[in-house]
Amino acid sequence: QVQLVESGGGLVQAGDSLRLSCAASGRTFSSYTMGWFRQAPGKEREFVAAVSWSGGGTFYADSVKGRFTISRGNAKNTVYLQMNSLKPEDTAVYYCAALTPGRQVVLMTSGSSDYWGQGTQVTVSS
């Protein structure tokens, strides 16, 4: 059982940076693969980034590689998404996600997850 709550979204200008946070609860949360997805108006939800609790490293969509960084807090109950060099096309609702232990991370990088947050709006003006 996992509950996820995102925060940190807002309105910024192109080229600016923004840091999203996801607060999680659950007895076995530290064993979950965590990630971020986003959904722009009129578009399907897409994978953005993921981080494994052990052995998996980090994974990024091609559209954000070199600009976004995903990380976990020391207690493993928080996950962050540092977004740099933001572009107008990054505008979307961003969702925190968690994948049950034992499931392959490719499930998340391909667009699936077991738990979802409610989302936080990120708007990048040109």
User: Where is pLDDT greater, at 2 or 75?
Assistant: 2
Q: Are 109 and 56 spatial neighbours (Cβ–Cβ below 8 Å)?
A: no
Q: How far is CA 55 from CA 51, 52, 98, in A?
A: 10, 7, 16
pLDDT tens across 58-84, in order?
A: 999 999 999 999 998 877 678 999 999
Question: How many other CB atoms sit within 10 Å of the CB of residue 13?
Answer: 10
Say how far apart CA 88 and CA 124 lie, in whole Å.
5
b/e code 19-57 from CB counts within 10 Å (16+ = b): ebbbebeeeebeebbbbbbbeeeeeebebbbbbbeeeee
Q: Where is pLDDT greater, at 103 or 31? A: 103
Mean pLDDT is lowest, of 38-47, 82-91, 101-110, for 101-110
Structure tokens belonging to residue 106 = 């490719």
Which residues share a beta bridge with 95?
A: 37
